[in-house]
A and B are shown apart, each in its own frame.
Chain A
Amino acid sequence: MNPRRPQPELALTPAQEAFRDEVRDFLGRVAPKQWLEPGWRPPSDVKERLAFQREWDGKLRDAGLVGMHWPAEYGGRGASLLEQAILEEELAWCGAPQAGLTFVGLNLVGPTLIAHGSPAQKTRHLPAILASEEVWCQGFSEPNAGSDLASVRTRAAVDGDALVINGQKVWTSYAHAADFCMLLCRTNPDERRSRGLSLVIVDMHAPGVEVRPLRQATGESEFNEVFLTDVRISRDDVIGDIDDGWRVAMTTLLHERGTALLGIQVRQRQLVDRLIARVKTMERDGRPLAQDPMVRQALARASIECDVVRHLGYRCLETAIRTGLPGAEGSAAKIFLSDFIRRFSRTALDIAGAAGLDMGEEDWGHQYLGSFALSIGAGTTQIQKNILAEHLLGLPRG
């Protein structure tokens, strides 16, 4: 299937165009074509997945493409947002799995340590993250603290030079494969909300850490529950200051600047194109399905909305490049993206009909159920709308 590549939406300098062409050429050579086949997924077994990830990261690292957004002094090359976007898109076009095992380390922990970590923490962890030698997970959500993250209860009690952690985390991606966890916990029990929180480093192999896989509605186990019983860490494992964890955590999370969205959009564009190609081969009642006006309208909608995601993503990027801050379009983009994927998945299932329900042959059912990860994770659509209304529009709290 020859993909229709969209035109660029931001002016690229000759150097950036050359970078894009190099990356495209490189990935064309090293990325298996199998990755673009319908329903292909990376190995689900932990050991196999880790080996898969390390091999792929190794190839990217040899080409200087791992952690390139990190500052040069920490082993990156301070790549611009535009270069990151170029890489993100090209990786998506070749079918490379997104948000792999090393994602948290490279994109969440690394930048957090770079901005807030102690020299010892940086020395200990940054090179290892960059070399894909350490896998990290992020311990934030709890059974009673999802949307209301500031209410986390996992307790870290100070005991001399140590902190003793007790509590439970949930929805922890890849905890079963992780060496370390960046954990949000409560160090000040007198404060119930964000003021008493700290961000700490926990060795996942330490005594008292228990990981239980969480099987999600789509069948895979990408997430886990993590139980912490009297887990001891050192004061040196606190990132930033004690009781300042919320601020440290938020400054990193707020740096989602639209490049991930562009990668997701490319994946969706491939699916839209795949559905269109599929429809052209289908018949209903002895007539080509592609001539059915309702099918044509539904596919046009899907194609248009998929392109809207792209245009929104580029507006986000452009604002981030210009001002360094997210703008109104940033708040709108994630909501729009998750709504779009939901609608598109429904359309695909409608068009594929009964045959589309065959999970052995088709992926649309998986995509449909999987779309809830986006409408719920990293801020539910409803909470995002509340935040948008209150912070961007200034509507008063209830």
Chain B
Amino acid sequence: MALGATEEQDLLRTTARQALEKAFPPDYARRLLDDEVPEAPWPQLARLGWFGIGIDEAAGGAGGDFTDQAVVLHEMGRVLAPAGYSATAVGAAPLVAALGSPEQRAAWLEPLLSGARLGVLVAGPDASIEAAGGQGGLALSGEAGPLPGAAEAQTLVVAADDASGGTVLSLVDRETTGVTITPVRGLDATAQLARVSLNGVQVRDGAVLGAPPDTAAKAVEAALDRLAVASVAELVGAGEKMQEMAVEYAKVREQFGKPIGSFQAIKHMAADMVVRLESSRAVVHYAALSIAEGRDDSDEAASAAKAYAAEAIGLLAEDALQVHGGIGFTWEHPIHLYVRRAASVARLYGSGDMHRERVAQAVGL
């Protein structure tokens, strides 16, 4: 267990950067914002094994752990890749892999690992679903969202409260009667937000993940922690890109006969970006390590990373746009796409306040 990247992770980072710069060229995020639905290159990226990182090879995954996945997520963030990867590979697939029967894994996990279908975990602070006894199974009712990744997901992994207050996890196809997915025009179009409404959705016994209620509850909490850390792992990548753009601009843009990067105010903004970026990188890295190793501080570490990095990179984003001056305020310049991502992440996967409250509890308050 090393803190920094291993040699294999360095290689993964290089490969991922090349593949993602091709898969999500600079205009991709903008096209999403322009209400286009460009074809998502998920099957190609799935062939690299990415949807199975952290899932045992025996279950059809690629092996590795969450620190490896964090490397890929960082590179995804640099290019503002849409939420489908994270929702599927961090949220939904690991739950099916961990709790699914062999039949369930064959039917539901395999399509997620191949990139053929996208998934989403319907759970968390923005979800409220109840399960009642139904015909040969359960009936799910409730609302969730806006949830990231839900707009494009075909497989819903739904966490519901049962009559005794325990958690039950079900596998639901988007096309099932009673499921309504309403895409939301989000501040950050790459989040692919949608509201999910379940109205007496019938789930056969075969589609219920057979875990006892507290196992299911813990698994959902762990998945939510992974999703929160994944969101800021991506955000650190986005922050790195924003800092590069701002510094590059400051070197070439001239006013009063000199590059604006020679003005101390700009230098200090750039230095602050480095401080925010490096501190975020460090806290996210530890959270990923803690989760990968199953340490008992992983819930605190996840919340610390989410609360801290979302805020820090949010401030970095504001300064990055500001450094660009007037051109940063145009539709055509990409910087606002990154600012949108930062502002959006801070309010998804649990707010900063919620995560700080979790840390407060963890430290004994």
**Option from A299, A301, A385 in Cβ contact (under 8 Å) with B272:** A385
Q: Judge if A307 is at the interface, Cβ distance under 8 Å.
A: yes
Q: Are A393 and B270 in contact (CB under 8 A)?
A: yes
Inside 8 A of B259's CB, which chain A residues have their CB? 395-396
Inter-chain contact A382/B268, CB cutoff 8 Å: yes
Which chain A positions have C-beta within 8 A of B279?
A: 308, 311-312, 332, 336
A-B interface pairs (CB < 8 A), number:
144
The stretch among B34-42, B126-134, B325-333, B357-365 that forms the contact with chain A is: B357-365
> Which B residues are in CB contact (< 8 Å) with A290?
365
Kindly state the separation between the CA atoms of A299 and B361 in the bound complex, as whole angstroms: 11
Does any Cβ of B come within 8 Å of A11's Cβ?
A: yes
- CB-defined contacts of B283 to chain A, threshold 8 Å: 304, 307-308, 311
Residues of A within 8 A of B258 (CB): 396
A319 located at the interface, meaning its Cβ lies under 8 Å from any Cβ of chain B in the complex:
yes
A394 within 8 A of B: yes
Cβ contact within 8 Å between A395 and B3:
no
- Identify A385's interface contact among B268, B286, B295, B365, CB under 8 A: B268
Interface pair B363/A303, CB less than 8 Å apart:
yes
Query: Are the CB atoms of A395 and B267 closer together than 8 Å?
Result: yes
Determine if B250 is an interface residue (Cβ-Cβ < 8 Å): yes
Partner pick for B356 among A6, A9, A300, A394, CB 8 A cutoff: A300
Among candidates A11, A336, A394, residue contacting B251 with C-beta atoms closer than 8 Å: A394
By size class, the interface of chain B is 35 or more
Tell me whether A398 and B262 are in contact in the complex, defined as CB-CB below 8 angstroms, given that A280-B365, A322-B4 are known contacts: yes
Selected from A279, A394, A395, the residue in CB contact (under 8 A) with B266 is A395
- Greatest chain A CB density within 10 A among B2, B267, B277, B356 is at B267
Cα-based distance from A376 to B359 in the complex (angstroms): 31
Residues of A within 8 A of B169 (CB): none
A299, B363: Cβ atoms closer than 8 Å: yes
Within the complex, what minimum Cβ distance (angstroms) separates A206 from chain B?
Answer: 42
What is the CA–CA distance of A158 and B261 in the complex, to the nearest angstrom? 43
Known: A11-B1, A393-B270. A300 touches B278 (CB 8 A): no
Asked whether any CB of chain A lies closer than 8 Å to the CB of B274, the reply is yes
Instruction: Assess whether B278 is in contact with A314, with CB atoms less than 8 Å apart.
Output: no
Contact A388 B363 (CB under 8 A): no
Of B283, B353, B357, most A-chain CB atoms within 10 Å: B283
Q: Measured between C-beta atoms, what is the minimum distance from B3 to chain A in Å?
A: 5
CB-based contact A396/B365 at 8 Å: no
CB of B349 within 8 Å of the partner chain? no
**Interface residues in chain B, defined as those with a beta carbon under 8 Å from any beta carbon in chain A:** 1-4, 247, 250-251, 258-259, 261-264, 266-268, 270-272, 274-275, 277-279, 281-283, 285-286, 289-290, 295, 297, 304, 307-308, 353, 356-357, 359-360, 363-365
Closest 6 CB pairs of A and B: A389-B267, A385-B271, A311-B282, A300-B356, A332-B278, A395-B261
